[in-house]
Amino acid sequence: MFELALGRSEKALEPFLKGLKGRERVKVVCIDLSGSYRAIVRKYFPNARIVADRFHVVRTVLRHFLATWKQLDPDGRANRGLLSLMRRHASKLRPDQKLRLDRYLDAHPAVRILYEAKESLCALLNIKHRTKKQCQPLIQRLMDWIWKLRYSGLPAMETLAETLDNWSSEIACMWRFTKNNGITEGFHTKMEVIQRRAYGFKNFTNYRLRVIVMCG
């Protein structure tokens, strides 16, 4: 952690960002799928390549697939045991868990198609360490998925298609760059602990110094 600023909006952060030394030398910025933060990065870090955070992209895909599952089979979606199995990657299921899931999917062919689509799309998004040339066919596969989702006739899938299309450039960068904001999420957790230990006292100057000491 190098610095801490008060505020979330561009208006609140503008004085800090304008005075930030070396921002023109920033090469890579990794963010979640926030349009507001992307606009800020483009404006104040003009030479930085924006990379979508893989965890947030996959989580977005999963959330929309689960919403579609609820539309197809509300009772199955409400089953917490099945929910746990549907969320996991097939490779992480134990044999008994895979058997249980297969029995459910055999009884619900439409949900099986949905599950297999989720697994295929997540596998594509989890590809790492690719060169610029190797990314070309992956980009085409992503665009094919966007087309399929957009014309699926399912509201959640159509919304997912728009999100993936809007962030396609940043998602494509995930295959080349291994950057992620996991360390930022860890700092955020530690900062929340510091806030809880403050027992209601609010002094941003003291808080900023403590965060830099604890996370610097």
| pLDDT tens, residue by residue, 101-120 | 999 999 999 999 999 999 99
Q: Is the pLDDT of residue 35 over 90?
A: yes
pLDDT at 2 over 90: no
Same domain, 119 and 43: no
What is the average pLDDT score of the chain?
93
State the Cα–Cα distance between residues 115 and 105, nearest whole angstrom.
Answer: 8
Same domain, 187 and 91: no
How far apart CA 92 and CA 84 sit, in angstroms, is 11
Q: What's CA 154's distance to the chain center, in Å?
A: 22
Residues 132 and 58 in one domain: yes
Q: CA-CA distance, 24 to 111, in Å (whole number)?
A: 48
Number of domains observed in the structure of the chain: 3
Final residue of a structural domain among 37, 52, 67: 52
Whole-number pLDDT of residue 184: 85
Q: Mean pLDDT across the stretch 181-199? A: 87
The whole model's pTM is what? 0.88
Residues 60 and 39 reside in one and the same domain: no
| Cα–Cα nearest to 157, from 48, 34, 69, 44 | 69
Q: Are residues 62 and 150 in the same domain?
A: yes
- One domain, residues 83 and 5: no
- Are 58 and 47 in the same domain? no
Is 102 found in the same domain as 40? no
Final residue of a structural domain among 9, 37, 52: 52
- Picking from 127, 141, 117, the residue whose alpha carbon sits closest to that of residue 173 is 127
Same-domain check for residues 35 and 68: no
* HSE toward the beta carbon, residue 185, CA cutoff 13 A: 10
Same domain, 7 and 31: yes
Q: Is residue 209 scored above 80 in pLDDT?
A: yes
Q: Are 118 and 13 part of one and the same domain?
A: no
Q: How far apart are CA 69 and CA 46, in angstroms?
A: 41
Q: Say yes or no: 64 and 164 in one domain.
A: yes
- The pLDDT value recorded for residue 105 is 96
Mean pLDDT of 10-31: 92
**For residue 154, what are the domain limits?**
54-174
